[in-house]
Structure 1
Amino acid sequence: MSENKSVANKKLIFPHTYAFLFSILLVAWIATYFITPGEFQRETNKETGQTTVIEGTYRIIDSNPTHLFEVFKAIPLGMENAANIIFYIFIVGGVFGIIRATGVIEAAIDQLMVRMEGRERLLVPGFMFLFSIGGFSFGMAEETIIFVPIGIAVARAAGFDAVTGTAMVTLGAASGFIGGMLNPFTIGVAQEIAEVPLFSGFAFRLSVYVVILLFAMWYVARYAFKVKEKPSHSVIFDIEKKSANSTSIPPISDRHYLVISVVGTGLVINIYGVMKWEWFLTELTASFIIMGVAAGVVGRLSFYKTFDSFVEGAKAMTFGALMVGFARAIVIVLEEGHIIDTLIYSVAHLIEGLPQTYTAICMFLAQSFLSFFIPAGPAQAATTMPVMVPVSDLTGVSRQVAVLAFQYGDAITNSIIPTSSVLMGYLAVAGIPYERWVRFVWKLILGWMVIAVVALIIAVLIGLR
């Protein structure tokens, strides 16, 4: 009996995360030999600087398969192209190393858990709702990385695991990102290209957002309390045991309150900077450095201890930070083989001629598929919407529905596709292997996709404009 169980467990072993990504990289390389290369003409909007595909300009070009050596070159090129995200991860890890060294996280969590005693069921929905606001208002994605350690610490203090803590933050933000009512980076770009009023369809998106968020809250809470009741239900049970911290928690002090004030002020400035000053990763990274140094000063750490803690925190991010470069390398190989445009053209061509509801669903599935190759929402909008909009005009599907199909296809898949730099980034911070995350999240993704399909059908039937 035990022997059969041992054999079964061996069959469930997943490859190393880097081996998995490298395998996908090799598949992308082989595909450049078999998929016909092609390209669209593109034009740049002088006012916005956005480069978009010119519909009807697709043409087949000479075969240009990627050589094997170029595959290995794509890895350092991927590191270079994703440098802003990679260094953002390192800096965030370093800053949290400083903040942790002050003892404020443990002390604040201990205080929180005392006040939340008997009301742990409010933690998951509370966290998820809070972060969903950032998701639908300013497209909170990369910014979630800084909050993941806090979510994990709170979850563990409540008897949950690191997966729950990560999900409370990232899937909360993802729920808002899927709703996207005021997201300028995806909805704003897509609606501008589709030439529909900016942020129109707000009420419909809000309704779908509520359903998406409630389903995610139920899903994560259900998992969390299963783990609390029986820790072996955790998908990272073996890792979680090693991460258990039995050290005593110091009481919260005035010094800790000063650190909390510095961090809170820094995060508010970051949010304001993203929304009002158009900050992105470079500005956010600089802001976090300031936040870290200030936290070290008010936390009464010596300069040596401050920067030693920074290095230790950054060191912990190495596994996942470099993973981001591997993920970006896959896209580079596809681009150099000139097969991304062929994939876009083929998918769009298959959609033509279907009934309106089927067309909307196929658009959604097509966007979900393409998001694997173009994981950045604004880039996917700029690349695919000029193709999808004419298709929607030909089939009678409104352009607003075409935008919805893009919105849901892009946003839902971001929480599971290995080419997503954001996903790989927060998994790195959490120390969760990619394959374990997939084991946890795939049913949620499937549920979100069903909700999206139903929403698209309703949108077509009511003639959403």
Structure 2
Amino acid sequence: MEQEIKKKRFKVPHTYVIIFTLIIITAVLTYVIPAGQYQKMEIETETGTRTVVDPASYANVDSNPAQVFDVLKAFPKGLGAAQGIVFFIFIVGGSFNVINKTGAIEAGISKVALGLKGAEALLIPIIVFIFSIGGGTIGMAEEAIVFVPIGIALARSLGYDAVTGMAIVALGAATGFVSGFMNPFTVGVAQGIAGIPMFSGIGLRLAIWAASLVLVIGYIYRYANKVKKDPTKSIVYDLEQEEKDKTIDLSNIRKMTGRDILVLLVFFAGMGLIVFGVFKYGWYITEIASIFLAMGIVSGIVARMSFDDIAKNFISGAKDMATGALVVGLARGLLVIMEGSMIIDTIVYSLASVLAGLPKAISAVGMLIVQSLINFAIPSGSGQAATTMPIMAPLADVLGLTRQTAVLAYQFGDGISNSIIPTSGVLLANLSVAKIKYEQWFKFVAPLILLWTAVAAVFMVIAVLINYA
């Protein structure tokens, strides 16, 4: 009885409760933090005109603190602001359920899993490496969401859990994103604003990528191995019990049929088209969701489902995504409050000012910490670059640091914390698709984020020592 009381006392609140509490706290802070604003200006770069902030233009403006009604409006406004990702989750969830109901994915994964039987440990480094290439080149983030269900199905078939399956995909992409060795959307934008050649300094970034790969693969493998030995050690053990009937039984699998092969061809053709569109035409979540919708419909037809069954399976899959999709809008409400009260620029200005006068190495690490904190308010990589780099680049000059070091601090601050902050729409979308609660993921990933940040701090000091340029 005493143990039960203790467990209830220390129970982690529901994700919605956590985020709504943060919205209330943020609203209270709008009465404490002065409103302020930077003026925007246009600059010419190698890739054209770009809008950035004028670092010398910060000024206080009339205070506009959040009212009680603003707190309540934050949720619907957040849903409106994040509608792209919210509807993306619904469409991908519904379409994937149609594809999944054909049985082709299960049959294909069974064959792959059987091929890895006895060498399950290879799954983790192979998948993490593949997705890290996407993260380091095209800034893969939203694009990886559609692969999470496959990663989970494959992980479960080999005796792991949903956290392992999501981690090999999401953290794999994050591994490349953190180094950003050839990411035009983050490093490219930041370097352009800082006035240094695009993708310069790639040597150190490749070393960061390698170090991040070792860290992430080792971390996931340690957890996955623990779960494989004792499934009750899984952070999502309750979920695994609920989804037990969906786990592929490798001892009793059906043979792959001609229809399965056709469905898989449709699936891989769709995935190939998505990759081509992202690289060639800069497709984003609207285009990706459209292709996934087509994949679901065509797969259902190929598998000889009736149109009614396709519709019913789509609705069922979308319905399963409701909790996670809505939490994206709720989390966006945090930014709605900060934007409406005009305190984001004040936060950026104040944090940047703290760094002035510190020793070089400490200033460099401080830049990393500042960028990580700012990422909570500005989770968009390119948006954060446009807001902070016009301030951080000249600040680096004043502190005696290279501008390349300032870009590195931005990249670390933006990349690492994306895997844990509740304002990251991509993270919440991944969790929605995986049916993992935010607090469960936080428990899994928090130690890794601390380790990763420590590694990043070491590289920041190295950048100072080698006068990274």
Structures share a fold, TM > 0.5?
yes
Residue 45 of structure 1 deviates from its aligned partner by 4.6
Shift of 1:33: 0.6
Matched with 1:384 is 388
* Counterpart for residue 30 of structure 1: 28
1:92-117 CA distance string (max 9 Å, x none):
10110111111012111211121111
Q: Which amino acid aligns with 1:324?
A: V
Answering whether residue 109 of structure 2 is matched by residue 105 of structure 1, we say: no
**1:159 matched to which residue of 2?**
159
Q: Distance in 1 between matches of 2:354 and 2:115?
A: 57
Distance in 2 of aligned mates of 1:326 and 1:45: 34
Q: Percent identity?
A: 46
Q: Secondary structure of 1:139's partner?
A: coil
* Residues 1:356 and 1:290: Cα distance change in structure 2 (over 3 Å): same
Partner of 1:10: 8
Q: 2 CA distance for matches of 1:409 and 1:396?
A: 20
How far apart are the structure 2 equivalents of 1:464 and 1:179? 15
Mapping 1:172-183, distance limit 5 Å: 172-183=172-183
Q: Once the 2 structures are TM-superposed, how far is the Cα of residue 49 of structure 1 from its aligned partner?
A: 5.7
1:325 to 329, 337, 341: 329
Tell me what 1:131 maps to: 131
Q: Distance in 2 between matches of 1:75 and 1:321?
A: 12
Q: Write the distance in 2 (CA, Å) between the matches of 1:44 and 1:235.
A: 48
Matched residues in 2 for 1:344 and 1:186: separation?
18
Residues 1:354 and 1:139: Cα distance change in structure 2 (over 3 Å): same
* Post-superposition CA distance 1:228-278 (Å, at most 9, x none): 101111111122111111686432122111111111111111112111111
TM-score (norm 2): 0.96
Aligned amino acid, residue 58 of structure 1: Y
| Cα shift at 1:50 | 3.6
Q: 1:181–1:202: 8 Å Cα contact kept in structure 2?
A: yes
Query: Corresponding residue for 1:87?
Result: 87
| CA distance 1:45–1:267, shift in 2 (3 Å) | farther
How many residue pairs align between the two structures?
463
Once residues 280 and 57 of structure 1 are traced to their aligned partners in structure 2, the CA distance between those partners, rounded to angstroms, is 33
CA distance in structure 2 between the aligned counterparts of 1:426 and 1:458, rounded to whole angstroms: 33
Q: Tell me the amino acid that sits aligned with residue 43 of structure 1.
A: M
2:365 is the counterpart of 1:367 = no
Q: Distance in 1 between matches of 2:62 and 2:416?
A: 35
Aligned partners of 1:178 and 1:299: how far apart in 2?
40
Instruction: Tell whether 2:76 aligns with 1:43.
Output: no
Distance apart, 1:288 and its partner CA: 1.4
What RMSD over aligned residues (CA atoms) do the two structures have, in Å?
A: 1.3
Give, in whole Å, the separation in 2 of the partners of 1:377 and 1:12.
35
1:43 alignment partner, SS class = strand
Give distance in 2, aligned partners of 1:48 and 1:422: 28
Q: Is the 8 A contact 1:259 1:299 kept in 2?
A: yes
Other structure's SS at 2:21 match: helix
User: What secondary structure sits across from 1:33 in the alignment?
Assistant: coil
Aligned to 2:416: 412
Corresponding position of 1:261: 265
CA distance in 2, matches of 1:232, 1:49: 55
* Structure 2 gap ranges (5+): none
TM-score by length of 1: 0.97
Instruction: Tell me by how many angstroms 1:48 deviates.
Output: 4.5
On the 8 A contact 1:106/1:250 being kept in 2, the answer is: no
Partner Cα separation in structure 1 for residue 298 and residue 233 of structure 2:
40
- The C-alpha deviation readout for 1:425-454, integer Å capped at 9, x for no partner, is 010111111001011111111111011001
Deviation at 1:11, TM superposition (A): 3.2
| Candidates 308, 321, 330, aligned match of 1:304 | 308
Deviation at 1:180, TM superposition (A): 0.8
Contact 1:103-1:250 at 8 Å conserved across structures: no
User: In structure 2, what is the Cα distance between the partners aligned to 1:126 and 1:82?
Assistant: 33
